[in-house]
């Protein structure tokens, strides 16, 4: 506001004089005439929440407070009142600001007349903010959209909310049955009814309503007759939801004004206001025990609140856009939410009493439009979701996979409620229609076709491997050379000379026909580049008629793209992808035909995923060949399904893989091809080999092997000939070479150690992994090994392959020596603030328990016997031999490190939510003083956090 005087518009004074002369008693009323103008032109910036210029015109009381420079109006003196002066032409600053609508001369005259008459405020109570002074515009249609529905817990009644009313119906007895006439209609709401809910005992109905930009109001009514019980007014904008606690003693309301208010339902007084959201709050939900409250907001987050004192227990920040719906699972163990990013997310609920991070368990791309409603069946086994794209879906809740896509809705559906019996649910649409639909009891879609699966059969009597030579012409299906597998075929990719011109002739390819029975596993392997040939082979398997054979369907469940930089065809590390927080280890990542598998989480903001095998050059899956990927290339998390599976569309692509390979996916054969094939049926099949570049010539020779798959393994021990200090420990490592895709666990046993020495045994290389780490320890009083027992260890590796145990010898620990007491001794111990041992193993190692999705704290202590430097334990690999999916969680930029002036520090171990129950030893290892390890510690992963018998 400015202090200088300006002339008022002459027209305003003339109109004012005319009006006063016509009727001296026609003084403008603040409520009817003045307040609507202040709301229309001023209160958007100058309100109690956003006091631009430290000035509010939202109410008469706020107006009387004036500005920091003085009063805003002088009763009886319009020309001297700042609120009038800033409206004059040439005012600096001018109000409203440039580009904003300005009051007309008639409206300025009303303000002037009101001040001239003494600026009289409203008599008695403050103005009713539910009264909106806007022109009345009659609707051109009789449609009354349904904004909310609820099905009573006892299954008897249904409440349907529309603009300014709630109808109560008898619930339908069967899906698809109409509702008939309402039993009663509740009216008197100030505007749109945005939410309606029955109390847990079905005796009361609570409804949320209000006036946009003005006020929010919640109302409780008796179900039996619709009579009002109590109203709750406190928000400064329309309500989006009002929920009763399970006990009915607390009401939670949320609004466009970014606030959540908890109310005492007996007194009607507010208990506390929950602030922290930076956008409108669209939905709230109580936990089944009523101790926690969830909220979903336009600020792209959901928050967990403690009801008793309003403390925020966690912020779920994974969503990418506004969240419209949130719910607790009926058992109270999970939180689900959905919104404008089209995804359903599921968190494990662990912050029940104290602030904790609730781990994200699932994130599903669910619909092609924003998700507007979610609801569980009473038993929690099914979830129904509704989206703006007119789709409705049913999900199972073990892994939150789609079970059914219902027919496209005739209009946008905004309201959902599942019946108390869990057999049907009710939808309310924007065209005013209602419909109840059945919840399918089976787990299949409506498709009559099933996936094409085949059982693997043993191949014990396939005969001796024969040899054959390619015979041209064999470019066409009908020309394919017949061979009897197993066989080694020699050939060359070179066209037969004929009358056809070289320009028109297609590049040469060689075809071979062989027979296989359903379920037989064959390996097609090429030896060309390894033998100096110029052939860069590409092989594929076709049906007898030449058609391609489907190997797998990969349905995308999460979309992403490469960030920071692209990838070459070899890199295993630093896969930086958008929205990586919703991805997990062992998930497939598809990009431009290549499929990789995630192996290690990003280790901070300046890193990305590591993919299998975790070292060396990366592997492809489903025999896809690793490729280079540019920055911003799309990629997808995909789920594998057998050919023929009828997939429920989710808005993301489905990729079909066939039996084909360019370069061996496991990178063992260089540029040569290797393809694994499981015959889908008895019959003949065609192997086609060609140069991937389309080249040919006499130098393009090859040997093509068609042989049975023979899974096996070999294990190598690293760290032999150790010198172990008295009382200390040395790390060793066992590494597996997995042959023909054997991915099962491998057990390594060590025996024959000298007296006073012990080793981690048995040591298990986990399923799909390549290595495991253990330690060999020496007691403080261990005797020197003799020439005989120092080299007497025996190491064997065993695994179950096709139902039979297979055992192989492993190189032993060599010569074991006893050294002096190390200058650094490492101990893993409990921290008084962290996890405590639950027992001691027979070897004397302490045992701890961790739940999947949990983080525990331990302590590492070092004895420095003359050593004065720092002791580091590595970065992402600090937790040696932890169960796959578990890791040391506080390594930082410098790794897990004890500074030179300290002798201990805490460290945290986190287990991903999907880690299966297992028992495993782990240790810490430092590179100082020639490498020193801690004694092993036993870690049990248990879902209930307890060992058997506890």
Residue 20: strand, helix, or coil: helix
pLDDT band of residue 837 (cuts 50, 70, 90) is very high
Q: From the CB of residue 89, how many other CB atoms can be counted at a distance below 10 Å?
A: 9
Q: At 701, which helix (H) or strand (E)?
A: strand 701-708
Angstrom CA distances, 855 to 107, 308, 330, 834, 943, stand at 64, 26, 25, 10, 13
**pLDDT in the model for residue 552:** 97
Answer CATH for 466-549+673-708 from 2.130.10.10, 1.20.950.20, 3.30.530.20, 2.60.120.380:
2.60.120.380
Judge whether 746 and 798 are in contact, CB under 8 Å: yes
Average pLDDT over residues 819-842: 95
For residue range 378-390, what is the model confidence (pLDDT) as tens digits? 999 999 999 999 9
What pLDDT is attached to residue 462?
77
Handedness of CA 940, 942, 946, 950 (dihedral sign): negative
| Angle value at C-alpha 724, between 718 and 727, nearest 5 degrees | 135
Tracing tokens 């060689």 back to the chain, one arrives at: 510
- 11: pLDDT confidence band, cut at 50, 70 and 90? very low
Q: Name the nearest CA neighbour of 572 among 623, 607, 619, 629.
A: 619
Buried b / exposed e over 143-176, threshold 16 CB at 10 Å, is eebbbbbbbbeebebbbbbbeebbbbbebbeeee
Cα–Cα distance, 259 to 241 (Å, whole number) = 11
> What integer pLDDT is reported at residue 1 of this predicted model?
32
CA distance 155 to 719: 68
Give the span between the Cα atoms of 214 and 210, in whole angstroms: 8
Q: Which residues, at least 6 apart from 918, have a Cβ–Cβ distance to it below 8 Å?
A: 883, 940, 941
For strands 292-297 and 824-830, give the pairing.
unpaired
* Of 195, 190, 191, 192, residue with least CA distance to 206: 195
- Collapse the DSSP code of 447 into the 3-class scheme (helix H, G, I; strand E, B; otherwise coil) and give the result: coil
Residue labelled with tokens 């030896």: 527
H or E element, residue 64: helix 60-65
Tokens of 620: 């492809």
Both tokens assigned to 369: 């439009």
Task: Return d(Cα 109, Cα 37) in angstroms, integer.
Answer: 11
pLDDT of residue 210 exceeding 90: yes
pLDDT band at 13; cut points 50, 70, 90: very low
CB-neighbour burial class of residue 808 (10 A; exposed 0-12, middle 13-18, buried 19+): middle
The pLDDT value given to residue 122: 79
Q: How confident is the model at residue 24 (pLDDT cuts 50, 70, 90)?
A: very low
Tell which wins on pLDDT, 156 or 500: 156
pLDDT > 90? residue 461: no
- The pLDDT of 732-739, averaged and rounded, is 98
Is the predicted pLDDT of residue 4 greater than 60, yes or no? no
Task: Give the pLDDT of residue 17.
Answer: 44
Cα four-point dihedral sign 572, 577, 583, 587: negative
Q: Which SS3 state, helix, strand or coil, does residue 283 take?
A: strand
666 is written with which tokens?
A: 């496991």
In the predicted model, is pLDDT for residue 616 greater than 90?
yes
Give the mean model confidence (pLDDT) for residues 341-353: 95
**pLDDT of amino acid 442:** 55
Average pLDDT, the chain: 91
Q: What is the 3-state secondary structure (H, E, C) of 164-199?
A: CEEEEEECCCCCCCCCCCCCEEECCCCCECCEEEEC
Closest Cα partner for 486 from 455, 505, 469, 463?
Answer: 463
806: CB partners within 8 A, 6+ apart? 712, 713, 798, 799, 800
Check if the beta carbon of residue 33 is closer than 8 Å to that of residue 131. no
Pick the CATH number of 712-819 from 2.30.30.90, 1.10.3720.10, 2.60.40.10, 1.10.10.10: 2.60.40.10
Q: Average pLDDT in the 22-32 region?
A: 68
User: Does the structure show a pLDDT above 70 at 20?
Assistant: no
| Cβ atoms 231, 216 nearer than 8 A | no
Q: How many CA atoms lie within 13 A of 208 on its CB side?
A: 31
Q: Is the pLDDT of residue 803 over 70?
A: yes
The C-alpha angle with vertex 552 and arms to 550 and 554, in degrees rounded to 5, equals 130
Between strands 165-170 and 157-162, the pairing is antiparallel
2 has pLDDT over 70: no
| 32 has pLDDT over 90 | no
Q: Give the residue extent of every domain in the chain.
A: 10-116, 279-393, 466-549+673-708, 550-658, 712-819, 824-941
HEC secondary structure over 37-60: HHHHHCCCCECCCCEHHHCCCCCH
Predicted confidence at residue 175, as pLDDT, reads 86
Mean pLDDT score, 827-851: 95
Contact indicator for 736, 765 with CB cutoff of 8 Å: yes
Mapping DSSP to helix (H, G, I), strand (E, B) and coil, where does residue 252 land? strand
Q: Is the pLDDT of residue 445 over 60?
A: no
Percent of the chain with pLDDT over 70: 93
pTM above 0.85, yes or no: no
What strands lie across the sheet with 360-365, from one edge to the other?
A: 323-328, 334-339, 343-348, 360-365
| 260 or 31, greater pLDDT | 260
Is residue 730 within 8 Å of 826, Cβ to Cβ?
no
SS3 816: coil
Residue 143 has pLDDT above 90, yes or no: no
Q: How confident is the model at residue 246 (pLDDT cuts 50, 70, 90)?
A: very high
SS3 384: strand
pLDDT band at 441 (very low <50, low <70, confident <90, very high): low
Copy the structure tokens of residue 132.
């909106």
Split at pLDDT 50, 70, 90, the class of 298 is very high
Residue 449: pLDDT over 70: no
Q: What is the mean pLDDT of residues 938-950?
A: 83
Would you state the pLDDT for residue 446?
41
Instruction: Work out the pLDDT band at 103, boundaries 50, 70, 90.
Output: confident
Least confident of 92-101, 296-305, 658-667: 92-101
Which CATH number is correct for 279-393, 2.40.50.140, 3.40.50.300, 2.130.10.10, 2.60.40.1120?
Answer: 2.130.10.10
Residue 3 clears pLDDT 60, i.e. is over it: no
Question: What is the rounded CA–CA span in Å between residue 586 and residue 788?
Answer: 46
- What local confidence, expressed as pLDDT, does residue 456 receive? 80
The pLDDT value given to residue 948: 67
Which of 46-55, 548-557, 592-601, 787-796 is predicted least confidently?
Answer: 46-55
Can you tell me the distance from the alpha carbon of 874 to that of 224, in angstroms, rounded to the nearest whole number? 68
Alpha carbon distance 306, 315 (integer Å) = 12
- What band does 620 get if pLDDT is binned at 50, 70 and 90? very high
**Per-residue DSSP letter, 496:** P
Q: What fold characterizes domain 824-941?
A: 2.20.130
Contact 240, 256 (CB under 8 A): yes
SS3 content of the chain, % helix, strand, coil (to 5): 5, 40, 55
Q: What is the pLDDT of residue 695?
A: 96
Flag whether pLDDT at 172 surpasses 50.
yes
User: How crowded is residue 743: how many other Cβ atoms within 10 Å of its Cβ?
Assistant: 12
| pLDDT score for 18 | 46
């Amino acid at each position: 506001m400015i202090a200088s005087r300006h002339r008022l518009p002459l027209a305003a004074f003339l109109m004012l004089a005319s009006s006063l002369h016509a009727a001296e008693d026609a003084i403008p009323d603040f409520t009817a005439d003045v307040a609507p103008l202040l709301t229309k032109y001023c209160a958007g910036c100058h309100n109690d929440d956003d006091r631009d210029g430290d000035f509010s015109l939202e109410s008469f009381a706020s107006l009387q407070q004036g500005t920091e420079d003085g009063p805003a109006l002088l009763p009886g003196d319009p020309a001297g009142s700042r609120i009038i002066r800033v409206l004059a032409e040439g005012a600096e600053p001018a109000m409203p600001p440039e580009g904003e609508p300005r009051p007309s001369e008639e409206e300025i005259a009303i303000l002037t007349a009101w001040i001239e008459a003494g600026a009289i405020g409203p008599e008695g109570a403050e103005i009713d903010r539910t009264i909106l002074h806007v022109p009345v515009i009659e609707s051109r249609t009789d449609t009354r959209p349904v904004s909310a529905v609820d099905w009573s817990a006892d299954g008897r009644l249904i409440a349907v909310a529309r603009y300014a009313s709630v109808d109560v119906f008898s619930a339908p007895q069967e899906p698809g049955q109409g509702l008939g006439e309402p039993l009663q209609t509740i009216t008197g709401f100030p505007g749109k009814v945005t939410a309606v809910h029955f109390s847990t005992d079905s005796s009361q109905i609570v409804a949320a309503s209000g006036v946009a930009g003005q006020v929010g109001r919640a109302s409780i009514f008796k179900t039996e007759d619709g009579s009002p019980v109590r109203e709750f007014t406190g928000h400064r904008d329309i309500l989006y939801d009002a929920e009763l606690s399970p006990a009915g003693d607390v009401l939670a309301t949320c609004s466009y004004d970014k606030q959540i208010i908890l109310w005492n339902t007996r007194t009607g007084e507010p208990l506390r206001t929950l602030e922290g959201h930076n956008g409108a709050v669209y939905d709230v939900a109580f936990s089944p025990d009523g101790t926690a409250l969830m909220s979903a907001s336009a600020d792209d987050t959901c928050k967990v609140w403690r009801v008793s004192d309003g403390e925020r227990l966690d912020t779920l920040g994974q969503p990418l856009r506004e969240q419209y719906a949130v719910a607790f699972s009926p058992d109270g163990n999970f939180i689900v939410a959905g919104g404008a990013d089209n995804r359903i997310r599921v968190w494990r609920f662990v912050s029940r009493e104290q602030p904790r991070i609730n781990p994200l368990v699932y994130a599903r791309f669910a619909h092609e439009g924003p998700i507007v409603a979610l609801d569980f069946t009473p038993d929690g086994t099914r979830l129904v979701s509704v989206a703006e794209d007119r789709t409705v879906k049913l999900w199972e809740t073990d892994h939150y996979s789609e079970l059914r896509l219902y027919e496209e809705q005739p209009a946008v559906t905004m309201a959902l409620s599942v019946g108390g019996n869990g057999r049907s649910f009710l939808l309310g649409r924007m065209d005013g229609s209602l419909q109840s639909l059945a919840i399918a009891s089976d787990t299949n879609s409506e498709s009559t076709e099933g996936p094409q699966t085949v059982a693997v059969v043993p191949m014990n009597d396939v005969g001796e491997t024969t040899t054959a030579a390619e015979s041209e012409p064999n470019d066409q299906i009908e020309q394919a050379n017949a061979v009897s597998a197993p066989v080694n075929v020699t050939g060359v990719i070179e066209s037969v000379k004929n009358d056809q011109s070289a320009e028109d002739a297609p590049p040469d390819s060689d075809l071979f026909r062989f027979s296989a029975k359903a379920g037989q596993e064959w390996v097609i392997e090429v030896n060309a580049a390894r033998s100096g040939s110029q052939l860069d082979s590409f092989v594929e398997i076709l049906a007898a008629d030449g058609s391609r054979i489907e190997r797998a369907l990969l349905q995308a469940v999460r979309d992403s793209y490469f960030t920071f930089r692209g990838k070459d065809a070899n890199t295993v590390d630093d896969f930086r992808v958008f929205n990586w927080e919703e991805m997990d280890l062992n998930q497939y990542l598809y990009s431009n035909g290549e499929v990789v598998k995630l192996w290690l989480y990003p280790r901070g903001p300046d890193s990305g995923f590591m993919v299998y095998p975790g070292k060396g050059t990366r592997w492809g899956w489903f025999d896809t060949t690793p490729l280079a990927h540019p920055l911003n290339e799309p990629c997808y998390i995909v789920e594998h399904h057998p050919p023929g599976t009828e997939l429920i569309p989710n808005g993301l692509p489905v990729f079909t893989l066939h039996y084909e390979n360019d370069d061996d996916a496991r990178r063992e054969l260089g540029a040569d091809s290797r393809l694994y094939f499981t015959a889908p049926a008895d019959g003949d099949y065609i192997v086609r080999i060609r140069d991937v570049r389309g080249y040919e010539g006499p130098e393009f020779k090859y040997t093509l092997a068609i042989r049975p798959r023979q899974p096996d393994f070999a294990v190598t021990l690293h760290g032999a000939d150790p010198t172990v200090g008295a009382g200390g420990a040395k790390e060793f490592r066992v590494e597996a070479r997995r042959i023909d895709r054997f991915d099962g666990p491998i057990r390594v046993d060590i025996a024959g150690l000298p007296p006073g020495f012990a080793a981690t045994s048995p040591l298990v290389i986990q399923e799909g992994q390549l290595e495991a780490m253990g330690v060999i320890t020496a007691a403080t009083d261990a005797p020197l090994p003799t020439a005989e027992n120092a080299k007497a260890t025996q190491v064997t590796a065993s695994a179950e392959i096709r139902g039979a145990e297979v055992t192989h010898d492993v190189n032993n620990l060599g010569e074991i020596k006893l050294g002096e007491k190390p200058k650094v001794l490492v101990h893993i111990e409990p921290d008084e603030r962290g996890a405590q041992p639950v027992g001691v193993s027979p070897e004397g190692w302490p045992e701890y328990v961790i739940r999947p999705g949990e983080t525990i704290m331990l302590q590492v202590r070092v004895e420095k016997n003359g050593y004065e430097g720092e002791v580091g334990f590595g970065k992402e690999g600090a937790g040696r031999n932890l169960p796959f999916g578990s890791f040391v969680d506080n390594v930082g930029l410098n790794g897990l490190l004890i500074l030179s002036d300290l002798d201990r520090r805490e460290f945290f171990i986190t287990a991903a939510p999907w880690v299966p129950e297992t028992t495993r030893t782990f240790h810490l290892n430092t590179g100082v003083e020639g490498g020193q390890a801690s004694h092993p510690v036993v870690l049990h992963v248990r879902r209930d956090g307890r060992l058997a018998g506890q």
